[in-house]
Every structure is written in C-alpha cells, then in structure tokens.
Chain A
Amino acid sequence: MSDTGTTTTTPAAAPPGRGPGHDRDARPAGEAAAPPRAAGTRRRWVLYAPLALAGGAFLGFYALLRGLGTGSYDPRGVPSALIGRPVPDFALPPLEGAELPALGAADLRGGLAAPVLVNFWASWCVPCVVEHPMLMRLSREGVPVFGINYKDRAEDARAFLRRHGNPYARLGVDQPGRVAIDWGLYGVPETYLVDRTGVVRWRWAGPITPQILESDLRPLLRRHA
C-alpha cells in the first residue's frame, strides 16, 4: 500500500498557476513522462509484487484446470479418513432370503487369506448397476468381495442380485445407514480395500470402471496380496 514514486525528486510544491487541464503540453516540466531516476533511487521491486503474485496464481489455476481434465483434481471429491486405519466396529444382519452370510468387523480383522473389497451398494443406485459387472468379474477371479446393502428394501436388493448376479461372499444390510457413516461414506457406490491385517488401504467413491480396475485396483490387490 505504498504510495510509490521517486519521492526524492518530487517538486516541493506544485508550480503555481497550473491549470486543471490534462493537456499534455500544460504539464509542468518537473513531471516529464520519463521517470527521472536520481542517484540512490533503487528499482522498486515492490512494484513487481502484483505481477509475481498474479503469475503464481495463473500457474496454480492452470494446474487446477489440467487436474480437472486428467481427473487428478476433483473439487467435489471427499477423501476418506479411514485410509491406514483398521475397519470400524460393526455387525450387520444378513439380507433376508439371500442365503448369504452376514458381515461384521470380525470378518475383516486380521488373518485374512487375501485383501478384501467392501462394496456399499443399493438397488436404487444407478451407478451401482454400472459397476456391477466389474464386481462380478473380480468375484469370479477369486477376489473376496463383501457387500453392504445401504438404505434399501430387502425385496428390491434380492431382485437386484437375481437380475445382475451376486458377487458378494458376505452381505450385510445397513438399513438405517449408520454403519455407512462409521465408514465415512458419502454416497453409493463406494468401495473399500481392506488388507490382510484388517487395515483400510484404499477407497473409491463412485462406480468402479474398467479403467479404475486396471489402473488402481489391480496393482493394489497385488501389493497387498
């Protein structure tokens, strides 16, 4: 907020009789267009500060736009607070009439033979339909996929599994949506990777696409195998 200028060369007072006009020729000699740079007047680096700040901001914004394009920056994504922590305590009832074992924290803690996927889904969720073939493929390949049916009706969930196939080795039902909050869920589908010691290693919010499967999930499954 400095009133900058070469003060050392400032005329002491405005010359008398200077008219109010802006006409170039009415300008007193002391204010010639070129700044008289007296000895000792350093180049005012402060004046470059706005340019530098703006330049930094441009680079930052450009990086953000690039990130938007490549997907590395997502203004709407919420990171999981669970990564690197053991799965939360929970015990869910089974889906009635589905003949599948129920799911609880005990099934995910310690001594697992292989890393496990925990998938939150619902029959009313359109992206869940999109990702379902990926889950089926993983399940066929022998990756344990556990499901948590979120805020759903039992008959709708059963119909969904009948129609699209069942990838789940275990299935818990979270009708009130409370366990989901313990997991930090903010939408369905969401999929968590739990390693053999019961620690959450990865979370994907949104449908698992073939691309996510190959680029993110498979390497992780290999690393934690």
Chain B
Amino acid sequence: MIPELGHFALALACVLALAQGAVPLLGAQRRDPRLIALGPPLAAGQLVAVAAAFAALLWSFAVNDTTVLGVVQNSHSAKPLLYKLTGTWGNHEGSMVLWVLILALCGGAVAGFGRDLPGALQARVLAVLGLVGVGFLLFILATSNPFARVWPPPADGQGLNPVLQDPGLALHPPLLYLGYVGYAVTFAFAVAALIEGRVDAAWGRWVRPWALAAWAFLTLGIALGSWWAYYELGWGGYWFWDPVENASLLPWLAGTALLHSAIVVEKREALKVWTVLLALLAFALSLLGTFLVRSGVLNSVHAFASDPTRGVFILALLALYVGGAFALFAWRAPAMAPTGVFAPLSREGALVLNNLFLCSICAVVLVGTLYPMFADLVLGVKISVGPPFFNAATLPLAAPLILAMPLGALLPWKRARLWPVLQRLWWAALAAAAALLLALALAGERVWPALGFAAAVWLVAGAAADLADRIALFRRPAAAWARARGLPRAAWGGALAHAGLGVTCAGIAGMGLATDALVALKPGESARLAGYEWRLEGVRDAAGPNWTARRATVTVARDGAAVAVLEPERRFFPVGRETTTEAAIHTNGLRDLYVVLGEERDGAAVLRLHHNPLAPWIWLGAAVMALGGGLSLSDRRVRVAAPAPKGAPAPA
C-alpha cells in the first residue's frame, strides 16, 4: 500500500511540477500577478509530494519490504538499519528520487527565501526549476520506477554491495546531488535572465549564494568520495581520474569559475554574458555526468547497470534543457550590455584569467573523458586515457592558476598596478621559496612534491597576506582587531577557501612522498617502514551484523615506543558472497599509518603497509574550502541579496 502511495505521490509531483513550469512562466510573460503568485505554492506542493514519495521509499527499505523490486535487488534484512536507509539511494532508481527531492527542495527554497526577488524573476526561476523537475520525474516514472513490485516476494533481498555499506559513502551521494542540483538553480536564474534579457548587479547577488552553496556541497561531496576511496578501497590512492570521478569534477571546475565571475557581475556589472554561459555550463556538465554514469556509454567500473532506453531518455532531457538554454543564449545574449569596464590588469582582469585557466582545465578533463568514446566512434580506434594523461595535461594549467591566485586576490578593482601587490606578497613568495628549498633538502630532491609544498605555502601565505592587508595589520596594528571584526565574512571566506586549496596541495605533495611495503609476516614477526617497526601480533576471526572477518592486530612502534595498534580486516559478506578489505588507519594529522590485510598462507599473513605523510590534509583542505564557501554564504551582503520592495510584482 505504502509503495503505491509513493508511486502516486511521484505522479502527483510530476503534475505539480508541470504546473510549476507553466503557470508562473505564463504569468511573468503576461505580467499577471495572480499567476505569478501561484509559483511558490506550486513549488511547495511539489516538494511535499516528492518528499512523500521519498519517505515511502525510505519506509520500504527500512522494513525490508521484499515485494518492492528495488529493495530485493539492493537490500537485505540482515543489514544494519542505517545501511538499509542509505541503501534507498544506493541504486539507480532511489538515487533519482533523491535527485528530484533535492531539486524540489531547491525550488522550495527559492519560493521561501526568494521573497525579495522581483516577482517576475522569481516566477521564471521557479518555472525553469519546475520544467527540469518534470523531465526527471517523467524519467523516473517511465523508465526507473522505484516502487516496482515483485510477486511472489522472495524470502529476502540480495544485499547491497558491501563496499558501499559505509557511512562516508552513505553521505556522499546526497552531498554530490546538493551540488549538482544547486547548479540547477543558477541555471534557472541564467535562463530567467536570458528570457528577461537583462543581467545586473542585483542578479549577480542573487545567483552568488546559490553558486556558493552548490560549490561548497560539491566540494564536500567530491572530497568525501575521495576520502572513502582512500580508506575503503585499500590501495592508498585518493583520486584515479576515472570517468565517473571526472564527471563530478567537471561541474566543480565550471562552478568554481562561475563563483568568481559572478563576483565581477555583482561588483562591476562586467562579464555578464560569460557568467550566464558559465551558469548554463555548470548545470549542463552536471547533467552530462548523470548521462555518462547512467547510460552505459562509459567505460567505468563505477557506472550504473546500463539500460539503453534510460540513456536515450536522459539524452533527450539533456538535449532539451541544454540545447534549449544554449539556443536561448545565442538568441538573447546580445541583449546584455556590459557596463563596467576595466583595465586588463585589475581584479576583474585577474578573475578573467582565473576563468581562462579553470575553463581550460575543465575543457581538458572533458576532452580526456570523452575522447576514448569519440575516438572509437569517429576514428575506430580504441585508446585509453588514464591518470598519466590527466596529470600531464592539467598540471601545466593548474600551476599558473595557483601562482596567480594570491596576486589576483590582492589586486584592486578597475585598474591596478602590479608593483604594490608584489610588495605585499614578497614575504609569501619568500616563504614559498624557503619551503621549496627545505623540501628539496629533506625529501631528497624529489621535485614534484617540493613544488607542491611551495605551492601550498604560497597559497596559505598569500591568503594570510590578503587578510593582513585588508585589516591593515602592519600599517596600523592598533586598529587591526577592530578592522578584522568589521571585515565582511565574504572576505574571510574567500581567503579561507584559497588557503584551503593550499592545504590540499600540501596533502597531495605529502602523498607524493608516501612509501609502502608488501610483507608476509608470521605472528611475532615485524617489518620496518619509514622509521616505524610494524609487528604482526596475530590474526583472529571476527564477526559483524552481516559479515564475518579475519582481523589482524598490528602494533606500530617508533624507537621502541608504541605508536598505534592497527586492526585491518578482510570481511566476507555471505549475502552476495563478496569480500572486502578494511584498511586500518592511524592518523596524527601529519601522517597516516595504513595497513591492509591480504591473504594468509603457511601461517603468515600478507600485509601491505603504507606511510602516507600529510594524507588527511587533502580532505581537510577541501573541508576548509567548503567552510570558506559557507562563511561567504553567511555574509549578510550575500545573504540578504539586493533588497527590493517585497512582493511588488512588476506592474504591467
């Protein structure tokens, strides 16, 4: 009964979304305040309906309702409740419902928080969100019904892939979707602006919080996925340039560019057309990722089971939304006159440069991801494009970007001179050079990690120099505290985000110095790695709610003093007959000691030992970046957006 109610709620949501897509749009075109006023209630209605559907699906998983196909295929009664619930979005159908739920939440937020928006703009934004919702609800109803029944019901479900039964991974898709779908809102704003034929500072102010929020969530989502890969997959890597990873990186890169160019629109009313295009691109790339992951065209271990009809459906949606938006763009963009003019050397100029490099990286990642497919299709050759290509092709573009980041943040608007900026950054440059030399001396002339450390110090010191300059720390130290308190949070947020990238750079550089060893130890034997003594105490059986395991105990000591006890496991999940390795990790913030248990043979256990310097900093830096985004978001100037008399719908 409850699954049927959920199914009905989805259908109802689809109807409401259609109304949300049509009525306010019509109202805005006719300047009819009554129709415009219907937008928010329709958005709220759609949200309630989708939330009801999602709740019904959650319930089906929670009670392990084996008459529901999705539950049978992806769940099992022996699974802990948490993973039963998170299993709701651990499959194609359920994850689409989550996607639509988040979209409806965004619509609800635009309806609820957007009271200060001019009525017509809000109506158009809601309409575009409604139209996006219709497409995906139809997609779910037509090709991916999450409430499909099986009869007679099997005794129990088939279980969830055990590597996915993990708290980090349970949270990863919702965060990622908050990012992807957040760009649906900036997309809707961009389309609304194109329809109206105008973009101004106020538009920039309304778009920026959404771009910031989406970016912060996407940053967290990507970082969480990367962290999960690091601790769960057990080979100590954190980024594999897999097509599916790239699919999440693409909107992040475009979104980062959008974040920066929206500032220029807001402050200077320049780069309008470009910013609108970026807003369209960020969402287009989000949708592209959805298509690649779910259509089966990708050659990835992460892809969903493929289904050609789904692929065609998503492609049609993609063509409709992205093609429609780009057509609108080509038609209407000339209407947007730039007013702010700037010299090439200025904050605006620096942000243009930022966009140039970010978009170039984005283009390279996109080309690298799609190239094997299109080479096969057009040229008939099968090639692989893997990490060696992406590292070699993106680094030369990322390096100048990192070099320019602190400079750009310190440049004044409109017209600048380089010399004063360099004067304020000389100590940061000095610190970076010192870090480079120190790293070369300590790490034995390993050039890439050393450059990574130099970049890290340059970014963090540059962010500090930026803040010091804004609060006049050195010029008027007495007033610095007062100025620091008065400094807008957006300034703190920006500096923090830049410093966060520095922290991530340090983590990546540290991982460049990682060492490991593969050893077979008998209980009582030990091995040495990175100055530590790793001793296998023993291996025993262990059991969990839906698995059994072999668990090794490894004590790690340094100079005779115990540092950590690590217990890596090999888990066996009887449902599905799968084995996973659970790495054991000890971190002190500066390095990870990481052990994976392999096979046991002749009384000896195979252990892979890793010493990963600064590994946690990779994700710590991402968290700092997201925190910076959050801080910017809490800036009242961003939060309140541009004030306009409430409610006054545009008079006809």
Set of chain A residues within 8 Å of B322, measured between Cβ atoms: 54
Partner of A58, one of B198, B318, B643: B318
Given contact pairs A3-B338, A20-B201, A20-B643, A75 touches B373 in the complex (Cβ within 8 A): yes
Set of chain B residues within 8 Å of A33, measured between Cβ atoms: 196-198, 335
Of B221-229, B326-334, B514-522, which stretch is located at the interface?
B326-334
Cβ distance A20 to chain B, nearest Cβ, rounded Å? 5
Chain B, Cβ-Cβ closest to A26: B644
Set of chain B residues within 8 Å of A25, measured between Cβ atoms: 650-651
CB of A222 closer than 8 Å to a CB of B: no
CA distance A63 to B274 in the complex (A): 31
CB of B439 closer than 8 Å to a CB of A: no
Q: Is there an interface contact between A23 and B648, defined as CB atoms closer than 8 Å?
A: yes
Q: Mark B119-158, 1 if CB is under 8 A from A, else 0.
A: 0110000000000000000000000000000000000000
Given contact pairs A6-B337, A47-B333, A63 touches B273 in the complex (Cβ within 8 A): no
Q: Is there an interface contact between B326 and A1, defined as CB atoms closer than 8 Å?
A: no
Q: Is there an interface contact between B315 and A61, defined as CB atoms closer than 8 Å?
A: yes
Q: Is there an interface contact between A65 and B312, defined as CB atoms closer than 8 Å?
A: yes
Given contact pairs A34-B335, A75-B373, A1 touches B645 in the complex (Cβ within 8 A): no
CB of A68 closer than 8 Å to a CB of B: yes
CB of A22 closer than 8 Å to a CB of B: yes
Closest 9 CB pairs of A and B: A75-B299, A51-B326, A4-B273, A21-B644, A35-B335, A33-B197, A22-B118, A22-B202, A50-B326
Q: Is there an interface contact between A54 and B339, defined as CB atoms closer than 8 Å?
A: no
Set of chain B residues within 8 Å of A65, measured between Cβ atoms: 295, 297, 308, 311-312, 315
Set of chain B residues within 8 Å of A30, measured between Cβ atoms: 337
Set of chain B residues within 8 Å of A64, measured between Cβ atoms: 297, 373, 377
Partner of A51, one of B271, B329, B336: B329
Q: Is there an interface contact between A60 and B374, defined as CB atoms closer than 8 Å?
A: yes
Q: Which positions 135-184 of chain A face chain B at CB distance < 8 Å?
A: none
Q: Is there an interface contact between B330 and A23, defined as CB atoms closer than 8 Å?
A: no
Set of chain B residues within 8 Å of A1, measured between Cβ atoms: 274, 352, 355-356, 359
Q: Which positions 1-60 of chain A face chain B at CB distance < 8 Å?
A: 1-7, 9-11, 13-14, 20-25, 27, 30-31, 33-35, 37, 44, 47-48, 50-51, 54-55, 57-58, 60
Interface residues of A, Cβ cutoff 8 Å to B? 1-7, 9-11, 13-14, 20-25, 27, 30-31, 33-35, 37, 44, 47-48, 50-51, 54-55, 57-58, 60-65, 67-69, 73, 75-79
Q: A4-B273, A54-B319 are in contact. List 17 more A-B contacts (CB 8 A).
A: A1-B274, A1-B356, A1-B359, A4-B274, A21-B643, A24-B650, A37-B334, A47-B273, A47-B334, A60-B377, A64-B377, A65-B297, A65-B308, A65-B312, A67-B377, A68-B296, A77-B382
13 A-B pairs, CB-CB below 8 angstroms? A4-B274, A7-B337, A11-B337, A22-B200, A22-B202, A30-B337, A50-B277, A50-B326, A51-B329, A58-B318, A61-B291, A65-B308, A67-B377
Chain A, Cβ-Cβ closest to B269: A14
Partner of A24, one of B120, B370, B374: B120
Q: Is there an interface contact between A79 and B382, defined as CB atoms closer than 8 Å?
A: yes
CA distance A188 to B197 in the complex (A): 61
Cβ distance A61 to chain B, nearest Cβ, rounded Å? 5
Q: Is there an interface contact between B277 and A21, defined as CB atoms closer than 8 Å?
A: no
Q: Is there an interface contact between A27 and B198, defined as CB atoms closer than 8 Å?
A: yes
Q: Is there an interface contact between A9 and B295, defined as CB atoms closer than 8 Å?
A: no
Q: Mark B283-324, 1 if CB is under 8 A from A, else 0.
A: 010000001000111110000001010011001001100110
Set of chain B residues within 8 Å of A48, measured between Cβ atoms: 330
Given contact pairs A51-B327, A54-B323, A3 touches B270 in the complex (Cβ within 8 A): yes
CB of B203 closer than 8 Å to a CB of A: yes
Q: Mark B353-376, 1 if CB is under 8 A from A, else 0.
A: 001100100000000001001101
CA distance A23 to B198 in the complex (A): 11
Partner of A14, one of B315, B339, B352, B651: B339
CA distance A129 to B291 in the complex (A): 36
Q: Is there an interface contact between A35 and B197, defined as CB atoms closer than 8 Å?
A: yes
Partner of B308, one of A2, A24, A50, A68: A68
Set of chain A residues within 8 Å of B374, measured between Cβ atoms: 60
Cβ distance B328 to chain A, nearest Cβ, rounded Å? 9
Q: Is there an interface contact between A61 and B297, defined as CB atoms closer than 8 Å?
A: yes
Given contact pairs A23-B648, A24-B118, A3 touches B337 in the complex (Cβ within 8 A): no
CA distance A23 to B644 in the complex (A): 8
Chain A, Cβ-Cβ closest to B120: A24
Q: Is there an interface contact between B273 and A5, defined as CB atoms closer than 8 Å?
A: yes
Set of chain B residues within 8 Å of A73, measured between Cβ atoms: 297, 376-377
